[in-house]
Amino acid sequence: MTPPGLRRDGLDARVRLSRGAIEVDVALTAEPGQVIGILGPNGGGKTSTVLALAGVLPLAAGHVEVGGRLWDDGRRRLAPEQRQVGLMLADSLLFPHLRALDNVAFGPRSRGVPRQQARQRARAELERVGLADRESARPGELSSGQQARVALARALATDPALLLLDEPLAALDPDTRARTRSDLAARLAAYDGVTVLVTHDPLDALTLADHLVFVEDGKVSQTGTPADVLSEPRSAYVGTVVGLNLYAGQGDSHGHVRTADGGLIVTTSPTEGPVWATVPPSAVSLHLHEPEGSPRNAWRLRISAVTMQGQSARVGLVGGVPLTAEVTLESVTALGLQVGHDVWAAVKATEVRTYPR
């Protein structure tokens, strides 16, 4: 009997298991063709979830159903080799002595497909990832980005119903990562199974995934489309990922938000009761002296970090209302911003957004 709410044609899973000190309880559902992005801090349960979907870790309870077939319900369990799963990791794990063609053909061959048929399929997959002209190259003759694409082709050559990508771009340098991300997006758009992508990189998640699931301490802390999450983060970790200062507080009808740490934030869009308040780092201006004029939010804070990012800098500030400010490199020099110095931070009330918690 199918549990209520299961998607017979895609993925429906409730992963419940214990691993070390973490009690994992993560629900995932997706239609065919969708990409689910799983994000969260280290040790939060992301990889445990993926390993359970692959069959490497058994469920203590819950279920995994893909394409209408029950893979695990905590009692009956298909072995990993019995599941229609494709897996791609940060380390491509290509066989160094095999050509790209035979690396990709290895998947179908391991499932009993005749050599010639497996190689035909491998050629088709290499063409789809733009490597038809490199089928004779061995991994040592390929760039890191090309190796990643070969690994993706190998994962898809077995026609998986579920594709699991665990930090697939983590080992690449920034330039290679950007190019490979674009190639990956194009290939996933043509894949009609369900993809589960685990990543620490917000850009990977926001550009590749249709739906985001944040996992913290083994539990789902927030789920939604990238647009939903960007507009209304609901945990400190999610706020950091989407680049917003986020505060839990209590709001009143006058636009005052009292944060959990006792700080006061003023907004022109009041929300009464338990609220989240967000402040974009770009909306924070820094001053050596208490600012005059229109800002209704001004706090004297201490600089805890200064991090350069291209032509701007992110300045971490601690005090009554901890903040991250994004300023120009010219401001860093002109204000002499250094760790340990005190500055005034100002935010216009119109830049503060609140919504119910």
Distance CA 125, CA 157 (A): 6
Tell me whether the CATH fold assigned to 11-231 matches the one assigned to 243-356.
no
First and final C-alpha spacing in the chain: 37
Average pLDDT, the chain: 91
Cα separations (Å) of 151 from 13, 51, 322, 329, 352? 26, 18, 43, 40, 45
3-class state of residue 227 by DSSP: helix
- Domain positions in the chain: 11-231, 243-356
Beta strands in 47-89 (DSSP E): 61-66, 69-72, 85-89
| pLDDT tens digits, one per residue of 38-94 | 999 988 999 999 999 999 999 999 999 999 999 999 889 999 989 999 988 888 889
Q: Which residues contact 185 (CB under 8 A, 6 or more apart)?
A: 207, 208
Which CATH architecture fits 243-356?
A: Beta Barrel (2.40)
Q: List the structure tokens of 49.
A: 């979830």
Q: Which option is the CATH number for 11-231: 3.30.465.10, 3.40.50.10470, 3.40.50.1100, 3.40.50.300? A: 3.40.50.300
Average pLDDT rounded to a whole number, residues 149-171? 91
pLDDT in the model for residue 180: 87
Which residues are CB-contacts of 63 (< 8 A; sequence separation ≥ 6)? 3, 6, 12, 13, 14, 70, 72, 73, 74
pLDDT for 5 equals 42
User: Of 179-188, 239-248, 289-298, which gets the smallest average pLDDT?
Assistant: 289-298
Contact status, residue 37 vs residue 23, Cβ threshold 8 Å: no
Say whether pLDDT at 6 is over 50.
Answer: no
Any idea which of 51-55, 126-130, 168-172, 334-338 has the lowest mean pLDDT?
Answer: 168-172
Residues 182-231 have pLDDT tens digits of 888 998 999 999 999 999 888 899 889 999 999 999 999 999 999 999 88
CA distance 317 to 89: 36
Residue 183 dihedral angles phi and psi, to the nearest 5°: -65, -40
Digit-coded pLDDT (tens) for 254-264: 999 999 889 99
Determine the Cα–Cα distance for residues 179 and 347; give it in Å rounded to an integer: 37
pLDDT tops 70 at residue 303: yes
> Given pLDDT bands bounded at 50, 70 and 90, which one contains residue 273?
very high
Measured at the CA of 87, the angle between CA 41 and CA 20, to 5 degrees, comes to: 40
Would the pTM of this model clear 0.95, i.e. be above it?
no
Letter string b/e over residues 185-218, b meaning 16 or more CB atoms within 10 A of that residue's CB: eebbeebebbbbbbbebbebbbebbebbbbbbeb
Tell me the C-alpha distance between 7 and 322, whole Å. 43
